[in-house]
Amino acid sequence: MKNELTIFEKIIAGDIPADKVYEDEYCISFKDIAPKAPIHLLVVPKKKIVRISHATPADQELLGHLLLTARTIAEQEGFAEEGFRVVINNGKNAGEEVPHLHLHILAGMKL
């Protein structure tokens, strides 16, 4: 159904559990349920933006906040120095599974 909530909206609402590492007014971060690296976190804006190709100039500040939050989390979790990767999958050819914008943070190994 078109208006069905995504899994991430349910996590944001607190209706389903997640292994949360960070939260503020604008976004939430939690561990990916199927990690592709020893550290695999997702950063999800509380505002529903379907994917990066749906973002508008009005989202500029929020998009910057998501990247700075990736930095904050990397420092908080202690992997900022050794390095990490930030990935956004946009659409079918990128393998996007959840239609609610999210950053992947991958770390803890040589990628």
Q: Which residues form the catalytic set? A: 102
Nearer Cβ to ligand AMP, position 1 or 34?
A: 34
Nearer Cβ to ligand AMP, position 7 or 21?
A: 7
In the complex, least distance from residue 42 CB atom to ligand AMP, rounded to whole angstroms: 6
In the complex, least distance from residue 76 CB atom to ligand AMP, rounded to whole angstroms: 19
In the complex, least distance from residue 79 CB atom to ligand AMP, rounded to whole angstroms: 18
Residues that bind ligand AMP (CB under 6 A): 7, 18, 30, 32-34, 42, 89, 95-98
HEC assignment per residue over the chain: CCCCCCHHHHHHHCCCCCCEEEECCCEEEEECCCCCCCEEEEEEECCCCCCHHHCCHHHHHHHHHHHHHHHHHHHHHCCCCCCEEEECCCCHHHCCCCCCCCEEEEECCCC
Nearer Cβ to ligand AMP, position 32 or 59?
A: 32
User: From CA 7, how far away is CA 21, in angstroms rounded?
Assistant: 17
